[in-house]
Amino acid sequence: MDEAKGFVPEEVRDYTGAKLGMWLFILSELLLFGGMFILYSAYRYKNPVDFHHASEELDVILGTLNTIILLTSSLTMAISVSALQAGRSRLSAFLLMATIAFGLLFLLNKGIEWTTKIDHGIYPNSPTLLTRAKGEILFFGLYYVMTGLHGLHVLIGVGVLSVMLFFLLKEKITQSHFAGLENSGLYWHLVDIIWIFLYPLFYLIT
Partner 1 sequence: MKYRAYILVWAGLIILTGVTFSLAGFHLGGWAVLIALSIAGTKSGLVLNYFMHLKSEKELIFKIAIPLVLAVLLVFISLTFSDVVFR
Partner 2 sequence: MMSTGETQSIRPGISFYEDQGRYRGVLAWILTLDHKRIGLLYLIFVIAFFFSGVVLGFFMRLEMIAPGGAIMKPQTYNSLFTLHGIIMIFLVVIPAIPTIFGNFFLPIQIGARDVAFPRINLLSWWLYISGATIVAISVFTGGGPPDTGWTFYAPYSLRTTVNVPLAVFGVFILGMSSILTGLNFVTTTHRLRAPGMTWNRLPLFVWAIYSTSWVQILVTPVIGITLVLIIMERFFGVGVFDPAKGGDPILYQHLFWIYSHPATYIMILPAMGIVSDVVPVFARKKIFGYMAIAISGIAIAAVGSLVWGHHMFVSGQSDFADLLFSLLTFLVAVPSAIKVFNWVATLHKGSIVLEPPLLFCLGFIFLFSIGGLTGLIQGSLAPNMHLHDTYWIPGHFHYIIFGGMGFGLFAGFHYWFPKMFGRMYNRKRVKWAWLIILIGFNIFYFSMLLLGWEGMPRRYYDYLPQFRTLHLTATFGSWVLIAGLILMFGNLFHALFKGEKAGDNPWGGATLEWQIPSPPPTENFEKIPIVKGGPHDFKELNTNG
Give contact residues for partner 2 (rule: CB under 8 A). Answer: 1, 3, 5-14, 16-18, 20-21, 24-25, 27-29, 31-36, 38-39, 42-43, 47, 124-125, 130, 133-135, 137-138, 141-142, 144-145, 149
Give the span between the Cα atoms of 5 and 204, in whole angstroms.
65
Among 10, 24, 125, 127, binds partner 1 (CB under 8 A): 24
CA 130 to chain CA mean position, Å: 30
Applying CB under 8 A, does 31 fall inside the site for partner 1? yes
Q: Does the CA dihedral 123-128-134-139 come out positive or negative? A: negative
Q: How far is the CB of 162 from partner 2 (least distance, A)?
A: 21
User: Per-residue b/e over 159-197, b at no fewer than 16 CB within 10 Å?
Assistant: ebbeebbebbeeeebeeeebbbbbbbbbbbbbbbbbbee
Measured N-to-C along each axis, helices 134-169 and 179-203 cross at an angle, to the nearest 10 degrees, of 160
Nearest residue (CB) to partner 2, 78 versus 179: 179
DSSP string, 89-131: HHHHHHHHHHHHHHHHHHHHHHHHHHHHHHHTT-STT-HHHHT
Applying CB under 8 A, does 60 fall inside the site for partner 1? yes
Which residue, 155, 162, 147, is CA-closest to 114? 147
Applying CB under 8 A, does 138 fall inside the site for partner 1? no
Q: Which of residues 147-206 bind partner 1 (CB under 8 A)?
A: 185-186, 189, 192-193, 196-197, 199-201, 203-206
Applying CB under 8 A, does 97 fall inside the site for partner 1? no
Among 30, 108, 118, 130, binds partner 1 (CB under 8 A): 30
Q: How far is the CB of 9 from partner 2 (least distance, A)?
A: 5
Applying CB under 8 A, does 108 fall inside the site for partner 1? no
Contact indicator for 74, 128 with CB cutoff of 8 Å: no
Give the span between the Cα atoms of 89 and 128, in whole angstroms.
52
Enumerate binding residues for partner 1 (CB under 8 A).
16, 20, 23-24, 26-27, 30-31, 34, 37-38, 41-42, 44-46, 60, 64, 67-68, 71-72, 74-75, 77-79, 82, 185-186, 189, 192-193, 196-197, 199-201, 203-206
